[in-house]
Amino acid sequence: MSVVFVLVGQCGVQIGAQICNNLERNERTHHTDGCVRCVGVDTEPKVIEGVLKQDRKRLFRRQSFVWEEEGRGNNWAFGYTGACKQSPPKGNQIRKKPAFTTKWTPLIVPIVERALTALQEEIKRAGGYVETVMFIHSLAGGTGSGLGSRLIGEAKKQFKEEASYYISVVVAPHSFGDTAVSSINAALTLSHLYRHSSLILLFSNQDISTSLAKTRKTVSLKDINDSITTSMLLLLQRGYVPFIGSSLVGENAPHEYHKVAFVSLFETSYECDPWGTAVRAVVKKHKKTVGASLVASSPSKVETEQGYEILQKVPPPCRSAVVQSPLLYPATDKHRRLIVRALTCPHTLLSFLIPLSNQAFAKYLSGAYLHWYSKYGVTKDHLGDALATLRDVVKVNVEYLNGGVEG
């Protein structure tokens, strides 16, 4: 079953292009002509132009990439509602007075139309149906979070028959401190993703930096992007079970309030360490908060199957994708092996969601920065609705931990 990637914003285009460039060619992610099933969207041209200029493998179709000139200024509302007029000859967009209705249904703006048209064409080239549309974007930027949220909702509405699953791969900033409005952007994004996405695969820059800092003196943005890329490659193409949206969603999103999987990459000893032993160590450390829905190729198929059976004993929604591969990664050697863990347990979700909600709620109460959003049609009530959604998610997960909700 096939997948189409939709790369949104600087973060999404950079990481998504890196993933696409390292994917092994296969019928699930590539067209017969060798091009990746991919759409790129950004409100600034620099990153997209760089990706297309460096596309020596000719993996990307230029007509599948759309962009504007002015960016979205880390403003979720500007990214979501747009505020553009008809494009000039080069296809770039110019800002004008925002168009936003009072019923939380913003008018379709050119970049949204062009992105959806490009997605429609990619689906047509795949035979008119793809199992999964996978969005890659930031959680708290302007374009990635705002426009990304908008595109997921519009795509799900427009392509009901053409795709079954909508998976969001999102990157959270460092402790929501990258900008003053990061927590507001993240809260608005998560509320929309809970509404429209089948599964949310979440990477935390903070967690990745902390993990990488254990093995190197300095951690750069490239190091973080490399870690995310490696994790996604393991999930997409190194799996014991081929990448299928239904497998990822079914195992990692068993409930409407349990659809966030926190993805992390770590190393374990490779030499003289049977796969099952490594997995048992992970299970012992995390007890019931770890399991597996997807297991990558290991030195031996029998060894892999044994590890898979071990982890399948852990009941959802406390499972995770534990993916293992001999694929090398910077700072590793032939005696190390990588495991990708995608935790969907309530403990992990609450430790992330509660601080985020508290920060956003404090700004909601004080009214701080809300005028930046209201001029693009997103009011305090809209933020209140988003926080209410996150509150419901927190409530259900707390009840689950207390034994009141079944997975």
What are the tens digits of pLDDT across the range 177-213?
A: 567 899 999 999 999 999 999 999 999 888 888 888 8
Per-residue pLDDT band at 285 (split at 50, 70, 90)? very low
- Evaluate if residue 311 carries a pLDDT over 60: no
Across 163-298, the runs of DSSP E, i.e. the strands, are 163-172, 199-204, 260-269
Mean pLDDT, range 156-180, rounded to an integer: 86
Which residues, including other chains, have CB under 8 Å from residue 105's CB and lie 6 or more apart? none
Contact of 124 with 114, CB cutoff 8 Å: no
Given pLDDT bands bounded at 50, 70 and 90, which one contains residue 237?
Answer: low
Do residues 138 and 170 lie in contact, with contact meaning Cβ atoms separated by under 8 Å? yes
- Can you tell me whether residue 131 is helix, strand or coil? strand
Q: What is the pLDDT of residue 141?
A: 84
Beta strands in 106-174 (DSSP E): 130-138, 163-172
pLDDT tops 90 at residue 43: yes
Confidence of residue 214 (pLDDT cuts 50, 70, 90): confident
Is pLDDT of 31 > 60?
yes
The predicted pLDDT at position 268 comes to: 52
Question: In the structure, what pLDDT confidence band is assigned to residue 243 with cuts at 50, 70 and 90?
Answer: low
- For residue 339, what pLDDT is reported? 58
- pLDDT averaged over every residue in the chain: 76
Q: 74: which residues sit within 8 A by CB, 6+ positions away?
A: 140, 141, 142, 179, 181, 182, 185
Question: By CB neighbour count within 10 A (0-12 exposed, 13-18 middle, 19+ buried), where does 9 fall?
Answer: buried
Cis, bond preceding 242 (omega within 30 deg of 0):
no
266-274 average pLDDT score: 47
State the pLDDT at residue 94.
35
Outline where DSSP puts E strands in 189-282. Answer: 199-204, 260-269
Answer yes or no: are the C-beta atoms of 54 and 118 closer than 8 Å: no
Q: What is the C-alpha separation between 328 and 181, in angstroms, rounded?
A: 37
Does 357 or 93 have the greater pLDDT score? 357
Kindly state the average pLDDT of the residues 45-49: 94
Query: 341 forms bridges with which residues in the sheet?
Result: 264, 322
Say what the pLDDT of residue 186 is: 94
Q: Which range among 55-59, 124-128, 153-157, 297-301 shows the weakest confidence by mean pLDDT? A: 297-301
Q: What is the pLDDT of residues 139-148, one digit of tens each?
A: 988 899 999 9
Query: What is the residue whose two structure tokens read 């003289």?
Result: 272
d(CA 46, CA 9): 11
Bigger pLDDT: 67 vs 310: 67
Enumerate the β-bridge partners of residue 239: 296
pLDDT at 265 over 80: no
Confidence of residue 331 (pLDDT cuts 50, 70, 90): very low
Q: What is the pLDDT of residues 289-301, one digit of tens each?
A: 333 333 333 333 3
pLDDT attached to residue 178? 64
Highest mean pLDDT among 240-249, 254-263, 265-274, 282-291: 254-263
Report residue 334's pLDDT band, with 50, 70 and 90 as the boundaries: very low
**Residue pair 82/99 in contact by the 8 Å Cβ criterion:** yes
- The 10s digit of each residue's pLDDT in 85-120 is 333 334 444 334 333 333 445 556 689 999 999 999
Residue with tokens 């009840």: 399
Does the pLDDT value for residue 45 go beyond 50?
yes
The tokens describing 125, both together, are 């080239």
- Whether the per-residue pLDDT at 217 is higher than 50: the answer is yes
Residue 218 pLDDT greater than 60, yes or no: yes
Identify the pLDDT of residue 102.
37
Which 8-state DSSP code applies to residue 97? Answer: S
CA angle 134, 389, 179 (to 5 degrees): 70
**What DSSP designation does 105 have?**
-
Spatial distance between the Cα atoms of 235 and 241, rounded to a whole number of angstroms? 10
The reported pLDDT for the residue numbered 240 is: 35
- Beta strand 320-325 with 336-343: parallel, antiparallel or unpaired? antiparallel
Q: What is the pLDDT of residue 287?
A: 41
Task: Indicate the SS3 state at residue 190.
Answer: helix
Decide which of 333 and 9 is more confident: 9
Which tokens belong to 53?
């200029």
